[in-house]
Amino acid sequence: MEVSNKQITLKNYVTGFPNESDFEVRITTIPLKVPETTQNAILVKNLYLSCDPYMRDRMSKLEGSYLDSFIPGSPLTGYGVSKVLDSTHPDFNKGDFIWGFTVGWEEYTLITATQSLFKIQHTEEVPLSYYTGILGMPGITAYAGFYEICSPKKGEKVFISAAAGAVGHLVGQFAKLFGCYVVGSVGSREKVDLLKNKFGFDEAFNYKEEEDLNSALKRYFPDGIDIYFENVGGKMLEAVLLNMTRHGRIAVCGMISEYNLEKPEGIQNLSCILTKQIRMEGFAVFDYFPQYAKFLEMILPHIKEGKIDYLEDIAQGLENGPAALVGLFSGRNLGKQLVVVAQD
Amino acid sequence: MEVSNKQITLKNYVTGFPNESDFEVRITTIPLKVPETTQNAILVKNLYLSCDPYMRDRMSKLEGSYLDSFIPGSPLTGYGVSKVLDSTHPDFNKGDFIWGFTVGWEEYTLITATQSLFKIQHTEEVPLSYYTGILGMPGITAYAGFYEICSPKKGEKVFISAAAGAVGHLVGQFAKLFGCYVVGSVGSREKVDLLKNKFGFDEAFNYKEEEDLNSALKRYFPDGIDIYFENVGGKMLEAVLLNMTRHGRIAVCGMISEYNLEKPEGIQNLSCILTKQIRMEGFAVFDYFPQYAKFLEMILPHIKEGKIDYLEDIAQGLENGPAALVGLFSGRNLGKQLVVVAQD
């Protein structure tokens, strides 16, 4: 039985900021069964799609990257939550809910590369959509980045950029629970309020209202920054380097300010890495997937006990996916941006 | 009894490249005894002075650095090897040889800050001057930087810049002994020969003869660089970032190309830290002084068995110190640059 399958495709490789017009809605058809000759595959109905900054890279023609480019004319792929409709894979059965990489930006996907999929132990206590965020890739990213890369100590001073984003607002809460002083930078007053009043950050500021980022950081960190959770790159990184303490750590999770530049500007002040013995380390979430079970053990009780707040920014309908995705790069989202394709 | 004491002083803070004319020879006098009221001090006769790139920083007016500026009108200070003439310190006796920080650029120094001094167990097998280099600060720097910061694995591919310098030529030999593939960049053909024929590097190149550093690195590292021992910064760092492997490590020991710039250029390609999950870490040798005894245990047998070659570039006489020091920044030295003040 073939059914209609709405898809979001990339028209062509993108240069500079992506626009909604770089994407196209297309209707095709798909059989709702795994072909009999295809082993270890699943046919899924997609429920929630994750909009993530790293996807900007995949809109470019990549060479020698750990990521693959999107294929122009084909549907986007990424992280998502789906329901298994048919399976020839011993680990997945019809009716299972799964999350992971790589789900298509379409209603139904035949997944043959199943190595980065996780089966969801679904309960009523947490919504399935959380597996695009706090219980999925951004959650493990925040967890690995903060606990593994930042090597935090109680009482240390932590700065987070893009702090109202999917990862940033979790890192801040992890750091507060750990006993750190936490400041976040964001791009609007609304987000400043959110960090201070909802997520319990000690301080927050709107970088767009600061004439001089160095002075802003000195205001909130008179004794320096011990840990910087880096999501933006560029001028913010330059200012942070000047304000790091000796033996400070910079976890490089993203550099969203750089993604849309054709010719990125050079970064000043890198000699601070030497003079202050800073460790700066990039990391990729898939290296930490083996720790997913351990992560869930930590995070689920926090969610159930209300110790961690989580914010979703939900776009309804696949056709609104491109606007939601593009919005990440102008900072339009509050918390985790996701797209609802279907409720179940 | 007062004796004459020749000194090298800094005339004034330096901007840009330092010149011999930034320094002055001055004759003063000094009593050869520690004043009776001064506890825990030693009066030393200086034998060998170490010329080190980090000293450039101290010629500038520093604020908020882990280093102190030199004081214009006062003698330079740094690492050196000296003989104790008088002592009120329980750990040091008349006749002891010491090395460490901070010895004056003068014939005799009264040292009251003795926390970074080491007593030398002198034997005929190794010259005392080695304690300005392979058995002193550059030696522990190479040791800590390679073994602790680079986390090397056998068979990994190692690139070293300023590889004929005091630290670089030791790192390369440590890496070869460890079972790595080792390539160095230097600034002359003579140094290329030295690395390949004396120090056993697998390959070496003269960066001044390369039109494109990226291509040069691709030639020697077709599968990428696992470990970069960073001594220079600037354009070389930019090219290295493009050629690092996933999970590569960059030990930042120096950035000599930046030291003399009034306004350093920004560094491109830093986003490779993210996309390739690179760890880039600055370190300072004094954090590793507690491991000095362990280091000596490793290095002394290597020297005695001829497994490690060590090269000294020796300037005779305190008055030739400024030229030797300034020469570091035009790459004039081959191996460890030191100044002989007296033989014993």
Q: Which of these, A135, A164, A101, lies nearest to A298 by C-alpha position?
A: A135
Q: Are strands B42-50 and B108-111 parallel, antiparallel or unpaired?
A: antiparallel
Task: Quote ipTM for the complex.
Answer: 0.92
* Nearest chain B residue (CA) to A268: B266
Q: Are the beta carbons of A268 and B264 separated by less than 8 Å? A: yes
> Which residue of B237, B280, B285, B289 is the best one to mutate when testing the A interface, meaning the one whose CB has the most A CBs within 10 A?
B280
Q: Are the beta carbons of B271 and A281 separated by less than 8 Å? A: no
For A255, the closest of B264, B271, B284 (CB atoms) is: B271
Q: Are the beta carbons of A282 and B278 separated by less than 8 Å? A: yes
Output the CA–CA distances (angstroms, integers) from residue B3 to A216, B6, B28, B29, B260, in the order listed.
55, 10, 8, 5, 37
Using the structure block, give the residue that is written with the tokens 């060479």.
Answer: A63
- Please check whether the domain covering B137-286 is classified as CATH 3.30.420.40: no
Q: What was the pLDDT predicted at A180?
A: 98
Tell me the C-alpha distance between A38 and B252, whole Å. 50
* Nearest chain A residue (CA) to B65: A275
For A274, the closest of B254, B268, B278 (CB atoms) is: B254
Local structure of B303: helix, strand or coil = helix
Q: What was the pLDDT predicted at A262?
A: 76
- Average pLDDT, whole number, for chain A? 95
Q: What is the mean pLDDT of residues A34-50?
A: 96
Kindly report the nearest CA distance between residue B207 and chain A, in angstroms: 21
Taking an 8 Å Cβ-Cβ cutoff, which residues of chain B contact chain A?
57, 65-67, 233, 237-238, 246, 252-255, 258, 264-284, 287
CATH class of this structure's domain B2-133+311-340: alpha beta
Kindly report the nearest CA distance between residue B325 and chain A, in angstroms: 20
Tell me the C-alpha distance between A270 and A192, whole Å. 29
Tens-place pLDDT, residues B254-277: 988 887 787 778 999 999 999 999
Q: What was the pLDDT predicted at B282?
A: 97
Tell me the C-alpha distance between A73 and A23, whole Å. 9
Burial class, A155, CB count within 10 angstroms (exposed 0-12 / middle 13-18 / buried 19+): exposed
Kindly report the nearest CA distance between residue A198 and chain B, in angstroms: 30
Query: Which chain B residues are closer than 8 Å to A272 by Cβ?
Result: 282
Q: Are the beta carbons of B67 and A268 separated by less than 8 Å? A: no
Taking the CA of residue B19 as centre, how many other CA atoms within 13 Å lie in the half-sphere pointing to its CB?
Answer: 4
Query: Which chain A residues are closer than 8 Å to B52 by Cβ?
Result: none
Q: Which of these, B285, B233, B279, lies nearest to B254 by C-alpha position?
A: B233
Q: Count interface pairs A-B at CB distance under 8 A.
A: 95
> In 10 A of CB B153, how many CB atoms?
11
Using the structure block, give the residue that is written with the tokens 């840990």.
Answer: A227
Query: Which chain B residues are closer than 8 Å to A148 by Cβ?
Result: none
Beta carbons of A174 and A151 less than 8 angstroms apart: no
Each domain of chain A, given as residue ranges in start order, spans: 2-133+310-340, 138-286
Ranking A62-76, A110-124, B233-247, B252-266 by mean pLDDT, the lowest is B252-266
Q: Are the beta carbons of A278 and B274 separated by less than 8 Å? A: no
Reported confidence tier of residue A11, pLDDT bands at 50, 70, 90: very high
Query: Which chain B residues are closer than 8 Å to A282 by Cβ?
Result: 272-279
Tens-place pLDDT, residues B209-234: 999 999 999 999 999 999 999 999 99
Q: What was the pLDDT predicted at B273?
A: 96
Local structure of A272: helix, strand or coil = helix
Whether the predicted pLDDT of A64 surpasses 90: no
Q: Which positions ≥6 away from A45 have C-beta within 8 Å?
A: A82, A83, A85, A107, A108, A342
Torsion angle defined by CA atoms of residues A11, A14, A20 and A22, in that order, rounded to the nearest 10 degrees: -20
Q: What was the pLDDT predicted at B247?
A: 97
Q: Are strands B181-186 and B108-111 parallel, antiparallel or unpaired?
A: unpaired
Q: What was the pLDDT predicted at A315?
A: 97
Kindly report the nearest CA distance between residue B296 and chain A, in angstroms: 24
**pLDDT over 90, % of chain B:** 91
Output the CA–CA distances (angstroms, integers) from residue B188 to B92, B212, B257, in the order listed.
43, 16, 16
Q: What was the pLDDT predicted at B258?
A: 80
Q: Which positions ≥6 away from B19 have C-beta within 8 Å?
A: B326
Tens-place pLDDT, residues A87-96: 999 999 999 9
Fold for A2-133+310-340, please state it: Quinone Oxidoreductase; Chain A, domain 1 (3.90.180)
- Please check whether the domain covering A138-286 is classified as CATH 3.40.50.720: yes
Q: Name the DSSP class of A331.
A: T
Tens-place pLDDT, residues A300-310: 999 999 999 99
Q: Which positions ≥6 away from B308 have C-beta within 8 Å?
A: B134, B170, B173, B174, B177, B299, B302
Q: What is the mean pLDDT of residues B118-143?
A: 95
Higher pLDDT among residues A261 and B159, named by residue: B159
Backbone angles phi, psi at B276, to 5 degrees: -115, 10
Q: Are the beta carbons of B233 and A268 separated by less than 8 Å? A: no
Task: Determine the distance from the C-alpha atom of residue B207 to the mean position of all C-alpha atoms in its chain, rounded to a whole number.
Answer: 21
**pLDDT over 70, % of chain A:** 100
Beta carbons of A278 and B251 less than 8 angstroms apart: no
Beta carbons of B116 and B100 less than 8 angstroms apart: yes
Reported confidence tier of residue A263, pLDDT bands at 50, 70, 90: confident
Query: Which chain A residues are closer than 8 Å to B255 by Cβ?
Result: 270-271, 274
Beta carbons of A310 and A140 less than 8 angstroms apart: no
Strands (E), chain A: 2-10, 23-31, 42-50, 77-87, 97-104, 108-111, 117-119, 157-160, 181-186, 203-206, 225-230, 244-252, 279-282, 312-316, 336-340
Ranking A12-26, A310-324, B64-78 by mean pLDDT, the lowest is B64-78
Q: Are the beta carbons of A276 and B66 separated by less than 8 Å? A: yes
> In 10 A of CB B300, how many CB atoms?
16
Output the CA–CA distances (angstroms, integers) from residue A130 to A36, A337, B341, in the order listed.
33, 11, 70
Q: Name the DSSP class of A174.
A: H
Q: DSSP labels for A128-169?
A: GGGGGTTTSHHHHHHHIIIIIIS---TT-EEEESSTTBTTHH
> Which residue of B232, B275, B279 is the best one to mutate when testing the A interface, meaning the one whose CB has the most A CBs within 10 A?
B275
Reported confidence tier of residue B150, pLDDT bands at 50, 70, 90: very high
Q: Are the beta carbons of B275 and A65 separated by less than 8 Å? A: yes
Tens-place pLDDT, residues B36-80: 999 999 999 999 999 999 999 999 998 877 789 999 999 999 999
- Residue B189 carries which side chain, given as an amino acid letter? R
Taking an 8 Å Cβ-Cβ cutoff, which residues of chain A contact chain B?
57, 65-67, 233, 237-238, 246, 252-255, 258, 264-268, 270-284, 287
**pLDDT over 70, % of chain B:** 100
Whether the predicted pLDDT of A131 surpasses 80: yes
Rg for chain B, CA atoms, rounded: 20
> Would you state the structure tokens that stand for residue A337, as one six-digit string?
């941006």
Using the structure block, give the residue that is written with the tokens 């926390």.
Answer: B115
Q: What was the pLDDT predicted at A260?
A: 77
Tell me the C-alpha distance between B125 and A314, whole Å. 74
Q: Name the DSSP class of B148.
A: I
Beta carbons of B1 and B32 less than 8 angstroms apart: yes
Whether the link from the prior residue into A102 is cis, omega within 30° of 0, is yes
Q: What is the mean pLDDT of residues A253-267?
A: 83
Tell me the C-alpha distance between B176 and B179, whole Å. 5
Q: Are the beta carbons of B277 and A283 separated by less than 8 Å? A: yes
- Average pLDDT, whole number, for chain B? 95
Tell me the C-alpha distance between B51 and B325, whole Å. 5
Tens-place pLDDT, residues B286-335: 999 999 999 999 999 999 999 999 999 999 999 999 999 999 999 898 88
Whether the link from the prior residue into A9 is cis, omega within 30° of 0, is no
> Would you state the structure tokens that stand for residue A227, as one six-digit string?
């840990």
> Which residue of B270, B279, B287, B288 is the best one to mutate when testing the A interface, meaning the one whose CB has the most A CBs within 10 A?
B270
Q: Which positions ≥6 away from B306 have C-beta within 8 Å?
A: none
* Nearest chain A residue (CA) to B271: A255
